[in-house]
Structure 1
Amino acid sequence: MTLALAAQIAAGAGTAAQTPGAAPASGAQAQETGRTGPATANASGDIVVTARRRNESVQRVPIAMSVVGGTALAETGTYNVNKLTQIQPTLQFYSTNPRNSAANIRGLGAPFGLTNDGIEQGVGIYVDQVYYSRIASATFDFTDTERIEVLRGPQGTLYGKNTTAGAINIITRPPSFTPEARVELSGGNYDFFQGKASASGPLIDDKLAIRLSTSITTRRGTVYNVRQDEWENSQDNQSFRGQLLWKATDNLDLTLSGDFNQQNPRCCVQYYARVGATQRPLNRQYAALAAAQNYAVPSTDAFDRITDVDTALRAKQKLGGVSLLANWDIGPATITSVSAWRFWDWKPSNDRDFIGLPITTVSANPSQQWQVSQELRVASNGTHALDYVFGVFFFHQRVDTQGLQVQGSAASAFLLNPTSAGGRDPATLNGLTARNTIGFDNTSAAAFGKVTWHITPKLSLAPGLRVNYDEKKGDYLSVVTTGTGSTTLTSDQRGVLAPQSYDPQFHNWNVSGDLTLAYAISPTINSYATYARSYKSGGINLSGLPLDANNNPILSSATVRPEKVNHYELGLKTQIPPLHATINVAAFWTDIDDYQATVTNGQLGVLRGYLANAGKVRTRGVEVDAAVRPTNRLNLYFNGAFTDAKYIHFRDAPCPPELSGGTTATAAIPASPAGTGTVSPANCDISGQWLPGVSRWAASYGAEYDLPATGVGLPGEFYLGYDGSYRSKFSSNPSRSLYTDVNGYALGNIRVGYREGGRWNLFGWVRNVWNQNYYELLATQSGSTGLVVGQPGDPRTFGFTVSHSF
């Protein structure tokens, strides 16, 4: 492991403010930070972060956080949020395509499963202080990144948007008045190519500087489609970023930034993983339905990486924006203004029956989003008896979506009783089409602040407060027509695609806050205790509503209540300078009332999910982050997390797949797991079960050893590094199912190379070196057929990277 990653990740759990003039970071950290760029380290060699909206040593910030520098990102192949999870064990990221993505910290953030336009993200994504409202707009490749700060726990009293689970704070390299340039080129198997370049320098001496950055990533897919003769799950990303820094006066600077990103991969495919019995009669389960169509998947082993989906796959998106950042130093404080406009244009194509039969031939939700935001803050400079951050924030977002779903000629046989008249007639559902027009307006405003009172040189008390207003307005119209164009539907047809029209609205005021007590036990041992009360805004359902017994939408489910969060945390951070070691520990307990869960209706149709409030959820755990440099040549690190995340009260949850699909629950006898057409419960009590997507145990670990290259006449050093990660079993379904548990897995990456003085870095790499077969997630096919589909992780990849700084 490079020292760049070892020390920065080991910044780990948050620390209490130290005594002014206390010992700096260990020698390992001081040496490390120099490698990640001058903006990362202060004169003492400490890692400098902006988590509390001012420059501070990470050793003195009472927040659970990790920091990863730009060099570490490059050497570990961490070029997007998804890959960041391999070196951040408390961060989870799940995606079936960019729109249907979720980032969680400690198991909290966004409902696991289908993303709904009407919900908030509990994990805030910030790039150069600009809030990105959609997780899809954060699926870009990291370009010219100085560092990434991952903050764990509620951050609403410090950040513009209320972030109840944490924040991912991405800081790019700023324009420089010293001319510089960087080039990085990578190539590997699966036709992988990645090129990154940036250049910066003055336009007007000491007054105006510019930085231009660009990135391109391409890779052939890893899954072969025998029907369409193409490789799926490819990569095709391009990005460009430009920045102008104007030093208007000695104490006022303005940075104008603009970026544009385009992605157009053949993505994303989920396909046959296994089959499990449901409560459908046997002739309505997958094996019998496929046999009746004389159909067989090309392979029943998902790790053969072969599929035959018959709908073209596309995950095309364009995103970008413009922002203006102003910093005015007025002496005792700095006033900061962040003004931004961003857009996102999404043009997908999916195969939502996951197999080569024409069941659902079109499933796409093209969407266009724009947002504007304005944040104004004042933060004290330096260390005073009272330090503070106060701010106001305004945000407005508009989303327009045009959904289209079309059923094919095999839909009747698969989704209806094959012995009924409707099931025997392909024309019943063939051509059945839903055209959905969806609009969403989201307005948020807040005033927030945090004061740190240094009671003594060692003891500080930091209360924070936030007043927040949220207003959401939506409109949903689904027009359903038969294959002949008629809007008159039979009950069979309405059970699959039902016309709906509703206009949900939500508005709410709330007050939240936190209190942190920090104590410096010694110059190298810090502790803190935090209590936070926070809210995640209520939401509205914009993916269609569940249906009642008459196949009419249940309008009472159009909105969901806000989440109410009570968070407790203890942290201890220690440094052992003689050993160049850092060991950090954080323990947390978070209770959430009215947890916003993604659930599925118990009916036959292809409505995939909607939002509902679970009664209560709890997540608790312990995190350990450690780095040690036992010799000048060897660096070791370990980050581990135990997370116990479960439903405490959720008594009316949808039942798991093995209990679904039976007859209407009119009898008291519950369904048996055997799957013989018995009665299915109307709902299930899943209190005590795991939250989906959360591993109880997760870790990242590694080592790097280097040798001077002077023996062969070179000025730099040779190095060998290993990075590993582990995640234990997790549930991949909102209600835990035997069929959709994802088994634990361990991944390992190796690199060997040569670097010289921060200028040259040449290394070969192998990722997933053991060629571990693992699933990123599992899901079920609509209609309670018992088909379980999966999204395998990347196989072993290898390649070479060369970078040069001028």
Structure 2
Amino acid sequence: MSFTQQARRYFTGSHSLCAIAVASALTATPMAVAQETTEEDDRGKLERIEVTARRTVESLQETPVAITSVGAVELAEKGISVLTEVQQFSPNTTLQTSRGTNSTLTAFIRGLGQQDPLWGYEPGVGIYIDDVYVARPQGAVLDLLDVQRIEVLRGPQGTLYGKNTIGGAVKYVTKPMSGEAEFNVEATVGSYNQRDVKLSGQYPLMEDTVYLGFGYANLNRDGFGEFLESALPNQDRENYNKDLWAARLTLEIHPSDDLFLRFGWDKTEDDSNAKGGYRLLPSILTDAPVPDSVYDSYTSMPTWNKVELEGYNWLVSYDVTDSLELKYVGSHRESYSPTNIDFDNTPLVIFDVPAEYDDENDTHELQANYLGESFSLVSGLYYYDGESCGNFDAILGVLGASLGAAGLTREVTGCNNSESWAAYTQLNYDINDSWSLSLGARYTDEEKSAFVNNGLIFDNVYPSTGWVDGYVRPPGQLVPQVLGTDTDGDGVLDAPAVQSWSRFTPRVGIEYQASDDTMFFASYSQGFKSGTFNPRATVNEAGVEPEVVDSYELGVKSDITDTFRANVTLFSYDHSDRQYIGVSGDLSDPTALDQVLRNAAETAAKGLEAELTWVATDNLQFDVAYGYIDFEIKENNAIPPLIGLASTPENTLNINANYLMETTFGDIVFNANYYYRDDYLLFETSDLIQQDAYGMVNLSARWESVEGDWYAGLYVKNLTDEEYLVGGYDFVTRGDDGSFGPGLGGDTTLIGYYGDPRTVHLTVGYRF
């Protein structure tokens, strides 16, 4: 049997087996031997999938959670190389690249998430790498290097995963080590001069005791478009290009059968250019025409951009008894990202925003897992200490000139720091052979401190002289601190603003095992997104309260026959105390800059998610993933008012066909999938930018030699070259007759950012 056939049986995937070794990457136990099921009688039947959504190893069909799992083999067969592509296979899920960079993630599940990546704002979908929380969206568009599996958990995960998982969680699981010497080299060439190299492997430093693993990727691609005109000379004019490298090292130590240690390091540097947006309306201040291609742009800013990430993680696991496991998981992560965002995308200084993001956090988690005769218990203590800082200059040069000044800059700097701890537990109890009960609870206590310097400078000011040559900050023009505390009553802020929140989040679930192959489940769960302070504050204001989501689910997981699987979930939720930043004052004033953050809305939604698998023959399989969501606004005090969900279509659909052709020179796996997204808004409070419904076709063929050492794949993505929006800016006014007028900056700034066009790439690899 070839490596492909074995992997399709034993490795994690949306339709393949997760080996016990894979689960060990999450549970931190030494790799065990998977029970093989290589009999020919198992060909053409559904495979068992094991997941760790509840922090223990379980069968997907016995886990009462709405979850999609995409494994290493399926990722390779489809040529999926970046996290955002996983959205196609999970219903009601949006994972997209944000507006100005290649590495910032916009994530929504069931319409719950966070679009603004500014420091201080918390995500609504948690991102995890080997159970380590990735706190900021910068750098969260992960390129898939040495990955074993991606899990998408839908619905609030507040009990086991904590705050900021009101929509769900996405778990990136790296490959565990086998203990053998292994090496894999892979090269890819493709459209737009794509040139990728990936190296990975492992080596036993001490036989059966100490293993060293490594991975390295260098990813390059020319731009999908170009900057047609720039006010600065000698610039790299590529737009939507890619220039990134990433590396990781892992050391595993197995001192005894009961003790396991793992230490990891990873680093990523993304030097891809800042992305220029496409003007959806002509500029009224320049004579530059709207570009012919949605990937072309104009700019008055430097095109360079950078995202630097580095992290350390460590894990210790000790099996006290056959029933009790103790774990300690820790991490330290840092990120730094200077970026250039030309909001207006013209050669004039109409609305330029150079910015810097600087983040650092530490996490510590102690966990105890106990397995009894009729119950299991997961419990733990968690601590998080994070500092999130940044600055940006909103440079409105043309507007400043119209006011008779040398320029106009709104400068904002600040930090929004968080320290929190939590205690959690979840009990899964078998009442009898058919009925089981799950009870979970988490208590979180959090303190945040923040300060904001915010003010106007009547000049064009950049963060440093290196940002744009020739621009120097005028002396003495430092903006005042506007958010903090006045301890001596002299009217001068002299300390950060400080506020604390605490929250108890429960979960109650009941499961009924109707037969060996069918389980029904119902649950109530609660999650919350942290309270925070306004990072754009112009006056001293209190922090907003946490957002809270109360969610209800009713589902069934059934292997109706040994060739047909149906997993269906009905859900509804109430989303209260939603945090919105709105304009303060006259909404018709296009130069309004003052913004207020407050809990301004309550919404609700209900929907359905269905994931179906049919093994038609020994070699042919079909998969369908469908999501539907119906949204309701119950209270609406947002300014401007809330009108819908951001980046969330009412319907999503994916239909996939997979065929395995066996030949004398190796196996060839053919894949074809059609992915459909209904129309959707880009912003919750504006219908100025909308994406019409579209469908996307992807094709692939992957060959593997009989020996399993050589492999190659040919991949065609977005075959019909669909153009679809993933981000934008809308700084424009609209009259009663539907005409557009100037907004902030004095221009008709309506900008769109687009997903990837049609691409073709060829991958060749060798493993030994």
With the shorter chain as reference, the TM-score category is 0.7 to 0.9
Matched with 2:100 is: 97
Q: Give the direction of change, closer, same or farther, for the CA distance of 1:778–1:225 in structure 2 (3 Å limit).
A: same
Q: Give the direction of change, closer, same or farther, for the CA distance of 1:554–1:74 in structure 2 (3 Å limit).
A: same
Alignment of 1:340 with 2:340, yes or no, is no
Matched with 2:729 is: 779
CA shift digits 1:228-267 (9 cap, x unpaired) = 4711111111111001111122201000001111101012
Alignment partners' CA distance in 1, 2:34 and 2:553: 28
Specify which of 106, 109, 112 is matched with residue 113 of structure 2: 109
Structure 1, 55-64 or 594-603: larger mean CA deviation = 594-603
Specify which of 424, 435, 439 is matched with residue 448 of structure 1: 424
Alignment partners' CA distance in 2, 1:610 and 1:80: 36
Q: Which amino acid aligns with 2:399?
A: A
Q: Which amino acid aligns with 2:602?
A: K
SS of 1:176's partner is: coil
Alignment of 1:354 with 2:330, yes or no, is no
Specify which of 266, 269, 274 is matched with residue 262 of structure 1: 269
Q: Give the direction of change, closer, same or farther, for the CA distance of 1:766–1:610 in structure 2 (3 Å limit).
A: farther
Alignment partners' CA distance in 1, 2:592 and 2:184: 49
> Is the Cα contact below 8 Å between 1:212 and 1:243 reproduced in 2?
yes
Alignment partners' CA distance in 2, 1:31 and 1:386: 23
Matched with 1:733 is: 683
Specify which of 516, 532, 536 is matched with residue 539 of structure 1: 532
Matched with 1:701 is: 655
SS of 2:139's partner is: helix
Alignment partners' CA distance in 2, 1:40 and 1:639: 32
Specify which of 459, 464, 469 is matched with residue 445 of structure 2: 469
Alignment partners' CA distance in 1, 2:304 and 2:99: 12
> Is the Cα contact below 8 Å between 2:17 and 2:50 reproduced in 1?
no
Alignment partners' CA distance in 2, 1:358 and 1:41: 62
Q: Which amino acid aligns with 1:791?
A: Y
Alignment partners' CA distance in 2, 1:89 and 1:759: 35
Q: Give the direction of change, closer, same or farther, for the CA distance of 1:77–1:599 in structure 2 (3 Å limit).
A: farther
TM-score, scaled relative to structure 2: 0.85
Q: Which amino acid aligns with 1:644?
A: D
Alignment of 1:311 with 2:301, yes or no, is yes
The alpha carbon displacement at 1:187 in A equals: 0.8
Matched with 1:571 is: 555
Uncovered stretches (5+) of structure 2, i.e. residues with no partner: 26-30, 38-46, 231-235, 462-477, 485-496, 733-741
Q: Give the direction of change, closer, same or farther, for the CA distance of 1:509–1:43 in structure 2 (3 Å limit).
A: farther
> Is the Cα contact below 8 Å between 1:176 and 1:211 reproduced in 2?
no
Specify which of 121, 136, 139 is matched with residue 138 of structure 2: 136
Alignment partners' CA distance in 1, 2:298 and 2:88: 30
> Is the Cα contact below 8 Å between 1:324 and 1:339 reproduced in 2?
yes
Alignment partners' CA distance in 2, 1:638 and 1:404: 46
Matched with 1:527 is: 520
Alignment of 1:502 with 2:483, yes or no, is yes
Q: Which amino acid aligns with 1:618?
A: A
Alignment of 1:750 with 2:750, yes or no, is no
The alpha carbon displacement at 1:127 in A equals: 0.6
> Is the Cα contact below 8 Å between 2:20 and 2:33 reproduced in 1?
yes
Alignment of 1:322 with 2:302, yes or no, is no
The alpha carbon displacement at 1:132 in A equals: 1.0
> Is the Cα contact below 8 Å between 2:343 and 2:749 reproduced in 1?
no
Which has the larger share of strand?
2
Specify which of 770, 773, 780 is matched with residue 720 of structure 2: 770
CA shift digits 1:2-47 (9 cap, x unpaired) = 9989999985xxxxxxxxxxxxxxxx64599999999896656622
Q: Give the direction of change, closer, same or farther, for the CA distance of 1:35–1:226 in structure 2 (3 Å limit).
A: same
Alignment partners' CA distance in 2, 1:161 and 1:505: 19
The alpha carbon displacement at 1:566 in A equals: 1.1
The alpha carbon displacement at 1:388 in A equals: 0.6
Q: Give the direction of change, closer, same or farther, for the CA distance of 1:374–1:32 in structure 2 (3 Å limit).
A: closer
> Is the Cα contact below 8 Å between 1:10 and 1:625 reproduced in 2?
no
Alignment of 1:803 with 2:753, yes or no, is no
Uncovered stretches (5+) of structure 1, i.e. residues with no partner: 12-27, 276-285, 414-422, 486-496, 546-552, 656-683
Matched with 2:399 is: 411
The alpha carbon displacement at 1:592 in A equals: 1.0
The alpha carbon displacement at 1:313 in A equals: 2.6
Alignment partners' CA distance in 2, 1:7 and 1:577: 20
> Is the Cα contact below 8 Å between 2:79 and 2:713 reproduced in 1?
no
Specify which of 345, 367, 379 is matched with residue 377 of structure 1: 367
Q: Give the direction of change, closer, same or farther, for the CA distance of 1:7–1:211 in structure 2 (3 Å limit).
A: closer
Matches within 5 A, 1:233-244: 233-244=240-251
Alignment partners' CA distance in 2, 1:183 and 1:31: 24
Matched with 2:468 is: none
SS of 1:250's partner is: coil
Q: Give the direction of change, closer, same or farther, for the CA distance of 1:471–1:137 in structure 2 (3 Å limit).
A: farther
Q: Give the direction of change, closer, same or farther, for the CA distance of 1:599–1:619 in structure 2 (3 Å limit).
A: farther
Alignment partners' CA distance in 2, 1:198 and 1:334: 30
SS of 2:75's partner is: helix
The alpha carbon displacement at 1:560 in A equals: 1.5
Q: Give the direction of change, closer, same or farther, for the CA distance of 1:180–1:328 in structure 2 (3 Å limit).
A: same
Alignment of 1:274 with 2:261, yes or no, is no
Alignment partners' CA distance in 2, 1:255 and 1:31: 21
SS of 1:190's partner is: helix
SS of 2:444's partner is: strand
Matched with 1:792 is: 754
Matches within 5 A, 1:44-63: 46-63=48-65
> Is the Cα contact below 8 Å between 2:20 and 2:32 reproduced in 1?
no
> Is the Cα contact below 8 Å between 1:161 and 1:393 reproduced in 2?
no
SS of 2:250's partner is: strand
> Is the Cα contact below 8 Å between 1:141 and 1:237 reproduced in 2?
no
Matched with 1:549 is: none
The alpha carbon displacement at 1:126 in A equals: 1.0
Alignment partners' CA distance in 2, 1:533 and 1:34: 32
The alpha carbon displacement at 1:205 in A equals: 1.1
How many residue pairs get aligned? The number is: 697
Q: Give the direction of change, closer, same or farther, for the CA distance of 1:176–1:156 in structure 2 (3 Å limit).
A: same
Matched with 2:736 is: none
> Is the Cα contact below 8 Å between 1:704 and 1:720 reproduced in 2?
yes
CA shift digits 1:604-638 (9 cap, x unpaired) = 33749764323311121100101111111211111
> Is the Cα contact below 8 Å between 1:6 and 1:636 reproduced in 2?
no
> Is the Cα contact below 8 Å between 1:225 and 1:231 reproduced in 2?
yes
Alignment partners' CA distance in 2, 1:133 and 1:59: 30
Q: Give the direction of change, closer, same or farther, for the CA distance of 1:39–1:723 in structure 2 (3 Å limit).
A: farther
Structure 1, 212-221 or 134-143: larger mean CA deviation = 134-143
Q: Which amino acid aligns with 1:801?
A: T
Specify which of 297, 320, 326 is matched with residue 288 of structure 2: 297
Matched with 2:377 is: 388
Identity of aligned residues (%): 26
